[in-house]
Chain A
Amino acid sequence: EIVLTQSPGTLSLSPGERATLSCRASQTVTSSYLAWYQQKPGQAPRLLIYGASSRATGIPDRFSGSGSGTDFTLTISRLEPEDFAVYYCQHYGSSPLVTFGPGTKVDI
């Protein structure tokens, strides 16, 4: 069974700073099926990154994803006020079929 672990649980930063979020899988996963989502309070999640490193439509280029195997990273190069939210990594295609990480909250 695939388990995704995200760190840190909370990241306290200021606008303009760089954010580095980690997602670690309990076993090697297929990068093609590793995604990142952003969720703001009272809203549905929004797809940011798919295939570990491809930005979804309309996502600003300050968001980037990288990694392979068991270790993946979401980087926000310069935080904008609207980027303060919770970020989830997610994997598709193993057992269980869909797994979400517990999330990282990025706050001021």
Chain B
Amino acid sequence: EVQLVQSGAEVKKPGESLKISCQGSGYGFYGHWIAWVRQMPGKGLEWMGIIYPDDSNTKYSPSFQGQVTISVDKSISTAYLQWSSLKASDTAMYFCARLGAEGGKEAFDIWGQGTMVTVSS
């Protein structure tokens, strides 16, 4: 089964660091871009950035550039999203998603289950 499995919910204090993960299985992980998407409570989907596991080529949304770091360890088919200093406004659900390309038409065809990050003092 093709799937992305994310790490569990996190509760952190402002200023703390955090790294969450997204492990792919059932397909050639290195050959598909993996994106991270934020969803703040009661709000819509926001694209944060995307990484190509084979060469770690990474592109960030201007809104998130410098705020987070996206990385990958292709040896264990896992992508990461990390913060060096969390803020209360980082409280959200974070999804990873695979960019599939069927017939040259690209879309996010596989999604992780989401990781809830709560930042509170």
Chain A interface residues (CB < 8 Å from chain B): 32-33, 35, 37, 39, 44-47, 50-51, 54, 56, 88, 90, 92-93, 96-103
**17 A–B contact pairs at CB < 8 A?**
A32-B105, A32-B106, A35-B108, A39-B45, A44-B95, A44-B111, A44-B112, A45-B108, A45-B111, A50-B100, A50-B106, A56-B109, A88-B44, A97-B47, A97-B50, A98-B47, A101-B44
Q: Do A100 and B105 touch across chains, with their CB atoms under 8 A apart?
A: no
Q: Mark B85-121, 1 if CB is under 8 A from A, else 0.
A: 0000000000101011011111111011110000000
Question: What's the least CB distance linking A105 to chain B, in Å?
Answer: 10
Inter-chain pairs besides A32-B105, A32-B106, A88-B45, 13 sampled, C-beta below 8 Å? A33-B105, A35-B108, A44-B111, A44-B113, A45-B108, A46-B111, A51-B105, A92-B99, A99-B47, A100-B37, A100-B46, A101-B44, A102-B44
Chief secondary structure at chain B's binding surface: strand
* Residues of chain B having any CB pair with chain A under 8 Å: 35, 37, 44-47, 50, 59, 61-62, 95, 97, 99-100, 102-109, 111-114
The 8 Å CB contact of A50, one of B44, B102, B113, B114, is B102
CB nearest neighbor in B for A96: B61
